[in-house]
Amino acid sequence: MFQLLKTDPATKARLGKLTTARGVVDTPVFMSVGTQASVKALDPRELREMGAQIILGNTYHLNLRPGLDIIRAAGGLHRFMNWERPILTDSGGFQVFSLASIRKVKAHGVEFRSHLDGSPLFIGPKESMEIQRVLGSDIAMAFDECPPHDAPAREQKLAVERTIRWARECRDQPRADAQQVFGIVQGGSNPALREECARALVALDFDGYAIGGVSVGEPELEMMKAVECTEPFLPAHKARYAMGLGTPAQMVELIARGVDMFDCVLPTRVARNGTAYTRRGAIGLKGAAFKTDFGPLEEGCDCFACQNFTRAYLRHLVRANEILGLRMLSVHNSHMYLRLMADVRQAIAMGTFGEFHRQFIANFTPSRKILAARLVAGSH
């Protein structure tokens, strides 16, 4: 259940509460990505301490490894990974896009060849919901087709038709106890298709709605357009989730456009490449400028990395390929994302988000490396 508490007077930013069986999630919220029952380089204690309210798991990957029998025997995904707070599971629909070379889309689902060993795997609406029921996630996503952003118009239309048909099947499947199900709007950057898909899914009365088909390689303006032409057709009393996004600036921009929920692999992915996010942009620590920089990654940051280590030391770790370096950058980046969402919620509550939005965007300068990385940021 979603409760809309307040809307910012200068933008479409929303303050809300999403109630699940395992706790209340304050929105806007960033969900750390735990593709294989683990947020890369971080443990559950660290996530709890930095304020993670909800994390994301991947249906396709967990079904392959460790497999449903093991997760069922463990008592569900929460017990298996020792995470007592809410979990959202994606449906496997993103893999229809990301694993295009090893899958075939059929009328009733998708035939995959396992990326691990090439074995056949079929996932359709029934299979996806069965996997998510066994996982026991608090929020399950309807199975959808996510086409490339530059797919021909006919392909986009067929994907929307399949997404609507599959969503209806997903809605009618059995669920885990108290499990919510969100529908996913597709349609590329075609306003008419986005409206058609959104209206059809809203008529099915899902617990919340996601905007899919974004962060799949499209220019940023098209990403914003896809959200802008979807949001007006989503009900105000249901949560809105932009899938696979994004950089800090993208999230702030989309919060201003009425989005409540986000997930992205970027915080830990770029950390493994030696990059840290700050409120002023991304910095690549491998650069010589940080060789004798004995300040923290970000002044005023209270994460463990910033409180205990310098840029010079972390640069040394990264260049020496020491695991501690990528762990500390992952800690900082994840903390930065979660702290940003907390500050956004406070600004909306105080009625000052319009100014917060303006100043944040004016001060944030992404690096070219990050601009390139975000093209595949949606990959889980």
Please name every residue paired with 15 in a beta bridge, in sequence order, or none if there are none. Answer: 6
Whether residue 111 sits in one domain with residue 53: yes
**pLDDT confidence of residue 366:** 75
Whether residue 331 sits in one domain with residue 250: no
Q: Give a yes or no: residue 375 inside a domain.
A: no
Whether residue 152 sits in one domain with residue 31: yes
CATH number assigned to the domain comprising residue 227:
3.20.20.105
Alpha carbon 182 to its chain's center: 14
Distance CA 275, CA 28 (A): 25
- The range of the structural domain enclosing residue 93 comes to 2-270
**pLDDT confidence of residue 371:** 46
Whether residue 252 sits in one domain with residue 160: yes
Whether residue 153 sits in one domain with residue 90: yes
Whether residue 285 sits in one domain with residue 153: no
Domain end position, chosen among 251, 270, 289? 270
Whether residue 310 sits in one domain with residue 193: no
Q: Could you give the number of structural domains in the chain?
A: 2
Catalytic residues: 90, 263
Whether residue 340 sits in one domain with residue 208: no
Domain end position, chosen among 270, 301, 317? 270
Whether residue 235 sits in one domain with residue 121: yes
Domain end position, chosen among 270, 303, 330? 270
Q: Give a yes or no: residue 373 inside a domain.
A: no
Pairing of strands 139-141, 120-123: unpaired
Sheet holding 2-7, edge to edge: 2-7, 14-20, 23-27
Q: Give a yes or no: residue 379 inside a domain.
A: no
* 75 torsion bin: left (phi>0), alpha (psi -120 to 50), beta (else): left
Q: Give a yes or no: residue 59 inside a domain.
A: yes
Burial of 294 (0-12, 13-18, 19+ CB in 10 A): exposed
DSSP one-letter string for 165-209: HHHHHHHTS---TT-EEEEEE--TT-HHHHHHHHHHHHHTT-SEE
Whether residue 118 sits in one domain with residue 233: yes
Q: Which residue do the tokens 């929303």 mark?
A: 14
Q: How many CB atoms are located within 10 Å of the residue 163 CB?
A: 27
Q: Which residue do the tokens 């929020």 mark?
A: 139
Whether residue 231 sits in one domain with residue 283: no
Sign of CA dihedral 131, 148, 272, 253: negative
Q: What are the mean pLDDT values of the chain's consecutive 10-residue runs (380 residues total)?
A: 97 98 98 98 98 98 98 98 98 95 96 96 98 98 95 96 98 98 96 98 98 93 96 98 95 98 98 96 95 97 98 98 98 98 98 97 74 43
Whether residue 253 sits in one domain with residue 133: yes
Q: Which residue do the tokens 């920089």 mark?
A: 293
Q: Give a yes or no: residue 374 inside a domain.
A: no
Q: Give a yes or no: residue 376 inside a domain.
A: no
DSSP state for residue 365 in the 8-state scheme: B
**pLDDT confidence of residue 84:** 98
Q: Which two tokens stand for residue 31?
A: 């969900």
**pLDDT confidence of residue 367:** 59
